[in-house]
Amino acid sequence: MQSLVFDIETIPLPFDESFDDVQKEYLLRNAKTEEEIEHQKQFGALNPFLGRIVCIGIYIPESKKGAALFLDAVDTEQTIEQDEMSIKYKSFVSEPELLAHFWLGLEEKRYNAFVSFNGRNFDCPFLMLRSAVLGVRPSVNLMAGTRWQFFMKGKKYEVEHFDLADKLVFGTGFDKNGAMRRFNLDFYTKAFGLSSPKSGGITGYEVPQFYAEGRSREIAEYCMRDVRSTAELYEKWQTLLKF
């Protein structure tokens, strides 16, 4: 049995070089001040038509093996052993090549479960739509199923997608202040006494800056901390809350 835990890191596309005048006017139509304009430009990291994927982290808890696929100036590959885990860091010079490699891995291997944190609302649609924009066809339908019953559907299998952001509010999460309030991954890991992915000195908000400075490997390491924390949280769910 193999579970695939995954996470992505994204940055906004270069605004001036990526869009024509009509698109720019459309995107900034409600921004009045310089601060609002800059905020709107940074918002691109949250949308597959306005941003790009700079890292995909994957991890298989059962075998303690994982990989970080990330964008960098040169193609490199290195496998390290850390905390009883084997992690491959593999860089790509182009986003389409990175995505094609990711989808090929999902097509060639069969998993019994997919695990994410907020993957249904962010990682999955971003991966599928960004791939399509770049002419790369996804090998697995990451958005299969319904709002309350998630599946990952490939050519030879259909398995459940455990989105822990939904699982930990039992599929609802509409209460902003009570027992069904949603929290971020950092808050949940600390609440369960797990290692926080933010302990390494970088947060998701800093990813664009790190990428601009050529610190792609540090982004990949941060992404793998997110993946590992998600895997640990999944174990808590499996042992304490799954019925």
Per-domain boundaries in the chain: 3-241
The answer to whether the pTM exceeds 0.85 is: yes
Six-digit token string for 47: 């949308």
DSSP assigned state of 199 = G
Q: What are phi and psi of 142, to 5 degrees?
A: -75, -10
How would residue 168 be classed by pLDDT, with cut points 50, 70 and 90?
Answer: very high
Tracing tokens 């998600």 back to the chain, one arrives at 230
pLDDT in tens, 206-222: 999 999 999 999 999 99
96, 82 Cβ separation under 8 angstroms: no
**Residue 10: predicted pLDDT:** 97
Q: Mean pLDDT, to the nearest integer, of 143-155?
A: 82
How would residue 78 be classed by pLDDT, with cut points 50, 70 and 90?
Answer: very high
Instruction: Please give the radius of gyration of the chain, using alpha carbons only, rounded to the nearest integer.
Output: 18
Q: Mean pLDDT, to the nearest integer, of 183-200?
A: 88
Please state, for a pLDDT cut of 70, what percent of the chain lies above it: 99
Long-range contacts of 133-141 (CB under 8 A, 24+ apart): 133/48, 133/49, 134/95, 134/96, 134/99, 135/96, 136/96, 136/99, 136/100, 136/103, 137/103, 138/103, 139/103, 139/104, 139/106, 139/107, 140/103, 140/106, 140/107
Report the alpha-carbon distance of residue 68 to residue 70 in Å, rounded: 6
How would residue 34 be classed by pLDDT, with cut points 50, 70 and 90?
Answer: confident
CATH number of the domain located at residue range(s) 3-241 in this protein? 3.30.420.10
**Cβ-count burial 189-212 (b if 16+ within 10 Å, e if not):** beeeebeebbeeebebeebbebbe
**Residue 175: predicted pLDDT:** 79
How would residue 13 be classed by pLDDT, with cut points 50, 70 and 90?
Answer: very high
How would residue 3 be classed by pLDDT, with cut points 50, 70 and 90?
Answer: very high
Report the alpha-carbon distance of residue 106 to residue 140 in Å, rounded: 7
Q: What are phi and psi of 51, to 5 degrees?
A: -135, 180
Q: If you average pLDDT over every residue of the chain, what do you get?
A: 91
**Residue 200: predicted pLDDT:** 64
Taking alpha carbons only, the member of 123, 146, 134 closest to residue 58 is 123
Residue 85 has pLDDT above 80, yes or no: yes
Residue 199 has pLDDT above 80, yes or no: no
* Helix%, strand%, coil% for the chain, nearest 5: 40, 25, 35
**Residue 87: predicted pLDDT:** 96
How would residue 82 be classed by pLDDT, with cut points 50, 70 and 90?
Answer: confident
Q: Mean pLDDT, to the nearest integer, of 146-168?
A: 85
Residue 113 has pLDDT above 70, yes or no: yes
How would residue 1 be classed by pLDDT, with cut points 50, 70 and 90?
Answer: confident
Six-digit token string for 192: 């369960």
Please state, for a pLDDT cut of 90, what percent of the chain lies above it: 70
Sign of CA dihedral 169, 171, 176, 179: negative
How many CB atoms are closer than 10 A to CB 103? 18
**Residue 151: predicted pLDDT:** 85
How would residue 204 be classed by pLDDT, with cut points 50, 70 and 90?
Answer: confident
